[in-house]
Structure 1
Amino acid sequence: MSKHPDIRFIINPTSGPKSKVDVAARIRLHLNHQKYSHEIVYTAYAGHAPELAREAAEKGCKTVVAVGGDGTVNEVARGLLHTDTAMAILPRGSGNGLARHLKVPMDPEGALRVLNEGHVTAIDSGTINDHPFVTTAGIGFDAYISSVFAGSKKRGLQSYVELIMKEVRNYKHLPVNVSINGRELDTDCFVMAFANAAQYGNNAYIAPEADIEDGLLDVCLVRRLDLIKALNLSYCMLTNQLAHADSAEYFKTKHIKVETEEPMMFHADGEYVGKVSAFDVHVQPLSLRVVIPKKE
C-alpha cells in the first residue's frame, strides 16, 4: 500500500472573485517538494470538502489545505476537528475571516511560504446547534444577510456592503431570552454574534477582543439599531474598536442559550443554516490544529 501524501490541497473551484490565477500551478511551483509530498483534489458539490478532509485525516495525512473562502475553510475544518491533522489555508474567497485573523498572507505565494514553514498550533472552534464554526456564528440580521447573499450572483466587499445598506432599514429587532454565565436576560435582539475569531472577514471586526485560543466565545449583542448606532458600530468594526455601550454589549462565555418568541435565522461562518427558535452555542477548546505564520 502506497504512503499517503503529506499534504492534501482541497480546492473549491467556485470560491471567491473570478481570477486568472492558476492555483494548482502556483502550488506546484512554490511548495517545498523536498520537504512535502502532496496531492490536489477538487470539491464537486456543497458538503464535499468535509468528506475529503476527513478521508485525508483517516489516512494519516499531516496537513489539509483549504483553498477557497470562509465556506470552504468551515467545511475543511469540520472534517478535521478533534484529529491530529492540521488545517492550512490558501485564501481564495472574498472575506477570508479566519485567514486574516491568523495573519495568513492573502497571496498564494505568501500562504505557501507559511505552509512550507510548517508551524502548527491548536485553536478553539464553536458549535451553534451542533453546527461547527471557526470564526463567527450569529442570529438575527447578519444571518438574514447571509441568506440573501447566498442567493446573489455578486460577490466581494462592495456587493456585501450594498446589500446591508439596502436591507438594514427593513429588518426589525425581536425579543429574546438569553441564558449566559448564570444570568437570564430578556432583551431585544437585532443581531447577536458569537465570535471565536475577532472578525467576520474583510477586516470587519465584530469582536475586537476575541482570542481564538482562550477557551471562550465573545458575544456581541446589538439590541436595536438606528442610524446613529449603525454609523458608530460600522466605524468601530472597520477600525477594530469596541462599539459604544449604547450601540452594542459584549460578553465572554463558554456556553450560551437563546430562546426566541418566533423563529430567527442563523449562520455559521457566514453560511446560512436555517431558522429556529432555540439556540445552544458552545466553545470547543483547542479542537483544531492549524498552520500559522511563525511569531516574530
Structure 2
Amino acid sequence: MPEQTRIRFIVNPKSGTKSGLDIASHIKLHLDHQKHRHDIVYTDYAGHAPELAKQAAAAGCHIVVAVGGDGTVNEVARGLLNTEAALAILPKGSGNGLARHLKIPMGIRGALRVINQAKTSTIDSGSINGHPFFTTAGIGFDAYISSVFAGNKKRGLKTYVELVLKEVLNYKHLPVTATINGNTLVTNCYVMAFANAAQYGNNAYIAPMADIRDGLLDVCLVRELDFLKAIHLSYCMLTRQIANADSAEYFKTDGVLVETDHQIMYHADGDFIGKASRFKVEMFPKSLKVISPA
C-alpha cells in the first residue's frame, strides 16, 4: 500500500437495518486519517453502485468501501472485478453474508479498524447466467424465497426462517439435468445452491466447507423437501451441520450447467434475478481484491 491510501466510501442510504447511522461521523472519528485520505459518495438508485465503483477504481482509489447490505456489496464488488482496487465492507444490512465469511466485524467501529489495517487478499467470484455473485447463487426454492423476501418490509433471520416454513409446502420440486465435473445427473431439484462462500448471511450456512479462495464451487442439491425436513434442514443450517443432513448432497466443481423443460427462479447473492430454463454457472478464481482481518 502507498504511504497514504486513497479510500472511497460508497454508501447506500436506504440499505438494511442501520439506515439512520451517521456514517460520515463514524468515519471522521474512527478512520486513521494519517494513513488514509477518503471521500464519500452516495447511491441514487439500484444499479448505481457498480458505476461508482468502476469510477473509483479508474480514478486510482486503492480501497472502495461498500456501505450497505448484501445487494450493495454485490454491486460494488461487480464494479471492482479484475481491477487493482480492493473491496472493503461496512456491514449495514440484515444478512451481511460476505462480511461474515470474511470475518469482518458487524459493528461500524470494528469494521473501520479492519479498513485501517488495510490487509489485502484475493478471493474468487462466480457468475450465474452472466450475473456475478460472491457468496451464493441458486435455483429453485431459495430463489423463490429471495423473491418473496424482497417484497417483505421486515428483514433479518427470524423473518427469513418464518418465510421458509410458511412457503415450503407451496413450492414443488422440478426435474432438471445437471452436468457436473463432466457427469450428467438427471434429478429432482427443490433447490440447487452454488456456494463460493459458506453462508447465505445471518450465519445460515449452506456450505460450511466452502473456501472462497479455492477456485471451486460447493454445490448443494436438495432433491425434495417437506415441512419436517425443512425444519431439520433449517436447524442444520443454523448449527453448521447441513453437510451431515440427509436431505442435502454436495459436489465440488469449477462450473455447472443445469437444463430443464421448466422455467425456474434463480438468484445471485440473495437478489432475485428472474426465471430461466438453462443455467450456466462459472467460477473466476482470484478475481476480486478484498480487505479483511489479518
- Please, what TM-score do these two structures have when normalized by structure 2? 0.96
1:153 equivalent in alignment to 2:114: no
**Displacement after TM superposition at 1:18 (Å):** 4.5
- Give the conservation status (yes or no) of the 8 Å contact 2:80–2:86: yes
Contact 1:5 1:39 in 2 (8 A): no
Residues 173, 223 of structure 1: 8 Å contact kept: yes
| 2:269 alignment counterpart | 269
Partner of 1:185: 185
The letter for the 2-side match of 1:234 is S
Shift of 1:10: 0.3
Q: Deviations over 1:246-280 (max 9, x none)?
A: 31100000010000121000000000111010000
- Please tell me whether residue 133 in structure 1 is matched to residue 145 in structure 2: no
Matched, 1:34 2:34: yes
Change (3 A) 1:91 1:18: closer
CA distance in 2, matches of 1:245, 1:56: 44
Match of 1:115 in 2: 115
Q: Residue type of the partner of 1:87?
A: L
User: Matches of residues 199-238 of structure 1 in structure 2 within 5 Å?
Assistant: 199-238=199-238
Length-normalised TM-score, structure 1: 0.96
Paired residue secondary structure (1:37): strand
1:98 aligns with 2:86: no
Q: Distance in 1 between matches of 2:170 and 2:97?
A: 27
- Residue deviations 1:210-268 (CA, integer Å, cap 9, x gap): 00000001000000002332233112111112344631100000010000121000000
Judge conservation of contact 2:190–2:224 (CA < 8 Å) in 1: yes
Say if 1:16 and 1:156, in contact at 8 Å, map to a contact too: no
Identify unmatched segments of 5+ residues in structure 1: none
Identity %: 69
1:119, 1:50 → 2: CA distance?
23
Distance in structure 2 (CA, Å) of the matches to 1:14 and 1:255: 35
Q: Is contact 1:197–1:210 with CA below 8 Å preserved after alignment?
A: yes
Counterpart residue identity of residue 238, structure 1? L
**TM-fit CA distance, 1:24:** 1.4
1:253 is matched with which residue? 253
Give the aligned partner of residue 166 of structure 1: 166
Q: Tell me the matched-pair count.
A: 291
Deviations 1:176-211 (Å, cap 9, x if unpaired)? Answer: 000000100110000000000000000000001000
- Residue in 2 that maps onto 1:77: 77
1:54 aligns with 2:54: yes
Determine the structure 1 residue equivalent to 2:279. 279
Q: Distance in 1 between matches of 2:18 and 2:291?
A: 26
> Aligned with 2:67: secondary structure?
strand
CA distance, structure 2, for counterparts of residue 210 and residue 227 of structure 1 = 27
1:14 matched to which residue of 2? 14
Q: Which moved more, 1:229-238 or 1:107-116?
A: 229-238
- Distance across 1 between alignment mates of 2:284 and 2:19: 35
Question: Distance in 2 between the 1:151 and 1:20 partners?
Answer: 21
State the Cα deviation string for residues 54-88 of structure 1 (Å, max 9, x = none): 00001111000000000000000000000110000
List runs of 5+ in structure 2 lacking aligned partners.
Answer: none
SS in 2 for 1:6: strand
> Equivalent residues in 2 for 1:63-74 (5 A)?
63-74=63-74
Q: Tell me if the contact between 2:173 and 2:223 (Cα under 8 Å) persists in the aligned partners.
A: yes
Superimposed CA distance per residue, residues 9-46 of structure 1 (whole angstroms, 9 cap, x where no aligned partner)? 00001111145421111011100111111000000000
> What SS does the corresponding residue of 2:40 show, helix, strand or coil?
strand
Deviations 1:118-148 (A, max 9, x none): 1000000000001000000000001011111
